[in-house]
Structure 1
Amino acid sequence: MKVVVYLPSKVVKEVTSDEHAKIGELIKIASPNTVGLDDNLEDQEVYLLDEPEELSKDAKVKERKAFVIHRCRKVRVSIIYAGKVFSGDYPPSKLIKHVRKDAIEGLCIDGPAGNNLELYETEDQNSKVNRNYPVGYFSDYPVCGIKFYLADPNAFAG
């Protein structure tokens, strides 16, 4: 069966795995370069997409379709908006859309103004962040942190 695996540093892989395979085997298939001389299997954490708890390396892949493999247990996310900063610690599996919602609430942005805001990697309209990706996709060990900009897409028009 096909399984989608999100890896650090903006890598997404579709791998073929047997549903009876162990999670540890999935790591070796999806991320062979991270399990080498400097790393071992135990350094890698595996999460179901948008689930906070890490999976046991001995658990079976089963019918699960999307995983996040990461070395950071928490990723520090900082979001800048109009000179204010929202920060929070999230598991690498947390979807960006939930972090965006937390930031809008945390920065006390209400109503339609909040609904129109998007996250960007830089202060450039071409760096819009895909809300359906996990935060771990954007960060890598040892930094375990990322910064985004919250902005109205219309602010770039000009």
Structure 2
Amino acid sequence: MKTIQIYVHGENNREPKLVEVSEEASVKDVINKYQHEFPNSGNPEDVEFFVEDEEEQRPKEEIGEKGGIKKKVHIHCHRCKKVSVSVEYNGQTITQYVPPSTTAKKILKQAAKKFNISEVDAADLLLKLGDGTVLQPSDHIGSFVAFPECNINLFLTANKQIQG
């Protein structure tokens, strides 16, 4: 049986894990592997499986590539099917509902569009948590929230470069 490596992102856990699974693994098999890697992640029946930046979770009976399981893919296992993401910019707030596998890069792009910020100007912006933590473009939004709190507040701010 041939194995492949995939990146598994999880609920309220900022560091993905590189795990090895059979290339014929089912979505349910990967969820079980996730539960082993991230022990306090709830009942496996409640955990959903998302491929990075896809809108819908994959059915648990899907196998291999049909289930989105392929070499070096980034997947996200989470109990929240959607995360309410509020982004504040210049005193205005927009809210969008996204799967937990949505990357910060995609959220920033969508927020810039809703705030009517050009792509050129948006290139100098970044997303931050209330504590000042900067989200990296590849971060999955679900990595910053834990069930049952399926929401997050972010701030769209300038990436200040110190000149000198």
TM-score bucket of the superposed structures, by smaller chain? 0.7 to 0.9
The 2-side partners of 1:135 and 1:123 are apart by: 16
Counterparts of 1:49 and 1:23, CA distance in 2: 14
Q: Deviations over 1:10-32 (max 9, x none)?
A: 24111110011211111111223
Q: Render the CA deviation track for 1:132-153: whole Å, top value 9, x for unaligned.
A: 1221112110000111111112
Aligned residue number for residue 25 of structure 2: 21
**CA, structure 1 residues 156+85, in 2 after alignment: closer, same or farther (shift >3 Å)?**
farther
Using the TM superposition, give the Cα deviation of residue 40 of structure 1 relative to its aligned residue in structure 2, in angstroms.
Answer: 3.0
Normalising by structure 2, report the TM-score. 0.83
Aligned to 2:104: 96
Selected match of 2:78 from 46, 70, 73: 70
Note the C-alpha offset of 1:114.
2.4
- Unpaired runs of at least 5, structure 1: none
Q: Give 4+ residue runs of structure 1 displaced > 4 Å after superposition.
A: none
For structure 2, which runs of at least 5 residues remain unmatched after alignment?
A: none
- Pairs aligned (count): 153
Structure-2 residue corresponding to 1:153 = 159
Distance in 1, Cα, partners of 2:131 & 2:100: 23
Sequence identity (%) = 25
- 1:148 to 1:25, Cα distance in 2 relative to 1, 3 A: same
**With structure 1 as the length reference, what TM-score do the two structures score?**
0.86
**What's 1:54 paired with?**
57
**Alpha-carbon distance in structure 1 between the residues aligned to 2:25 and 2:119:** 47
C-alpha contact 1:3 1:16 (8 A) present in aligned 2: yes
Shift of 1:105: 1.4
- SS in structure 1 of the partner of residue 80 of structure 2: coil
Q: What do the CA deviations read for 1:19-66 (whole angstroms, capped 9, x no partner)? A: 11211111111223246xxx4322000011111121111111345222
Give the alignment's Cα RMSD to 1 decimal. 2.2
